Structure 1
Amino acid sequence: MTAFQNVRFILTDVDDTLTYESSLPAETFQALHDLREAGYIVVPVTGGCAGWCDQMARIWPVEAVIGENGAFYLRKDEQGHVHYRHWEDAAKQKQLQQKLLSLAADALQLVPKARLAKDQAYRLADAAIDYNQDVSGITKEEVAKIVSVFETAGANARPSSIHVNAWFGSYNKKMMALKLLKDCFDLDAEKAKEQVLYIGDAPNDEPMFEYFPISFGVANIRKVWDSLHHRPRWVTQSSGGYGFAEMADGLLSGDMTSAKFSLA
């Protein structure tokens, strides 16, 4: 339990980390409530769109939400008002997004089976190409082609478990997480390494796995294990939201043993 005794913050991916087969299990939502009641500060860190993040910030038992792979964070104040903090100013953000959408059109010509994500209209900064949400049958090689279109143009592109998210700028999940922790909780980057637990499942979580020593993957991360340069330290026995609930139960009970979680 020594590694976990200073943990105050739970930062978590959403798709296929909190969810399971596109749904949020009751056990997972209860785990979020239980962690909050125990005094942990829970922050979803997702590639998900601004519209989805706004709903999470308003309704879920979380303290803040980081969206679109770090383009912004949202936090609800004591009066229930949600405030946005963006990495870029709004005008520049919109200009860059239009360039990304043009690149997305090029990528879709190379991989016609892929689609622009259905939530694209609710995104503020990035472009998201669906390769495994409402479409299927797209190979790893085709995903790599999509990524290459954006990277060749100087953009960042990272596959989540369902989308390829692309953006221009120096931010990522880690950079915005450190900014939020400093802005809202006065936690500096070095102390964050002791006080933050991160849990995720996909290549776009690698900056978090690399930076935070206390890191988990839910069991379905094994599907992409060989492609990861930076891996979590522990892996749960269960997949998706059930793996998250398993981690939360271990943390709350004080039983974070090797019998429950495997070292990566």
Structure 2
Amino acid sequence: MIASIRAIDVETARNLKGIFFDIDDTFTTNGKIPAVAYQGLWTLKESGLKVVPITGRPAGWCDHIARMWPVDAVVGENGAFYFRFDERAGKLTKRFLDPAPVRCEKRVLLQAVEKDVLSSVPGTALASDQPYRETDLAIDFREDVEPLGWPAVERICAVFRKHGATCKVSSIHVNGWFGDYNKLHMTRIMANELWGVDLEADRRFYLFCGDSPNDEPMFEFFPHSAGVRNVLQFADRMSRLPAFVADREGGAGFAEIAETVLSLRAT
């Protein structure tokens, strides 16, 4: 049984140093960022907490997010990189896990996976944000295509694994890549390189918010993790669930989590 987000205690909230959060269906609702979610993000940032989106979305989107959202950095493509906009220098810095030549080699391998998935799993399509990706392949199963059932999602995953690729399921895409990294791996690198923080030792000072199976490494690692309500639709397909859950779904759930944390910190 997952506890309500309102069960989080005052001491935990007061000791938090940062909030990590997924974007799709955690910060958004039906593909849009609700005003309450964006205001919640601004309020978290202005309170002095570190705020970092941890997403499967592409490098092109993350360039915009790092520059224009009130965030300290962004981890993208399920852990392939982090971007940070240096406010003082007025410059964007990009930190990829793989060097450019390796990324090029892996993109060639992913072309074969793409062809195999699209020919063997009817109803799938490349994600509409694929042209802006640097490191992975995103297969759409419910964003811009007619929603496919879980058996189709499992067939997509099987094709990725057949080619030796890693894959993770989000609420809208199956993302696959070559390498054993994930969201948590790059989040730990980012925290160490930007803030000098060892998340292994300091994980209790950070809260992660998510909604789907590709957030499991984060739910497992952070003792203070929260799901928006829609995470429960995946509960029987996940081995690691968040410690807390919001009463509301999507962006409204994110706003609820932010409001709860900030209220407790002000107590």
TM-score interval for Structure 1 and Structure 2 normalised by the shorter chain: over 0.9
Cα distance in structure 2, aligned partners of 1:255 and 1:8: 11
**What SS is found at the alignment partner of 2:31?**
coil
- Residue 13 of structure 1 aligns with an amino acid whose one-letter code is D
Specify the alignment match of 2:3 in structure 1. Answer: none
Specify the alignment match of 1:164 in structure 2. Answer: 174
Q: Does 1:101 find its partner at 2:111?
A: yes
- Residue 105 of structure 2 aligns with an amino acid whose one-letter code is Q
Is contact 1:58-1:80 (8 Å) kept? Answer: no
Specify the alignment match of 1:120 in structure 2. Answer: 130
The one of 153, 174, 177 aligned to 2:184: 174
Cα distance in structure 2, aligned partners of 1:11 and 1:154: 29
Specify the alignment match of 2:146 in structure 1. Answer: 136
Query: 1:105-254 alignment to 2 at 5 Å?
Result: 105-254=115-264
The one of 33, 54, 57 aligned to 2:63: 54
Cα distance in structure 2, aligned partners of 1:88 and 1:161: 26
Provide TM-score, normalisation by structure 2: 0.93
Provide the aligned length of Structure 1 versus Structure 2.
256
Runs of 4+ aligned structure 1 residues displaced above 4 Å come to none
Cα distance in structure 1, aligned partners of 2:120 and 2:155: 7
Provide TM-score, normalisation by structure 1: 0.94
**What SS is found at the alignment partner of 2:117?**
helix
**What SS is found at the alignment partner of 2:89?**
coil
- Residue 126 of structure 1 aligns with an amino acid whose one-letter code is D
Give the deviation of 1:255 after TM superposition.
Answer: 7.6
Q: CA RMSD in A?
A: 1.2
**What SS is found at the alignment partner of 1:15?**
coil
Provide structure 2 residue ranges, at least 5 long, that are not aligned to the other structure: 1-9
Higher relative contact order (Cα pairs below 8 Å, separated by 6+ residues) = 2
Is contact 2:13-2:262 (8 Å) kept? Answer: no
Cα distance in structure 2, aligned partners of 1:43 and 1:255: 19
Specify the alignment match of 2:5 in structure 1. Answer: none
- Residue 192 of structure 2 aligns with an amino acid whose one-letter code is K
The one of 39, 46, 51 aligned to 1:42: 51
Cα distance in structure 1, aligned partners of 2:96 and 2:39: 30
Q: Does 1:4 find its partner at 2:27?
A: no
- Residue 15 of structure 2 aligns with an amino acid whose one-letter code is N
- Residue 185 of structure 1 aligns with an amino acid whose one-letter code is W
Q: Does 1:91 find its partner at 2:101?
A: yes
Residue deviations 1:57-106 (CA, integer Å, cap 9, x gap): 01000000000000000001122211100000011012112211211210
Is contact 2:226-2:244 (8 Å) kept? Answer: yes
Cα distance in structure 2, aligned partners of 1:127 and 1:151: 13
Specify the alignment match of 1:261 in structure 2. Answer: none
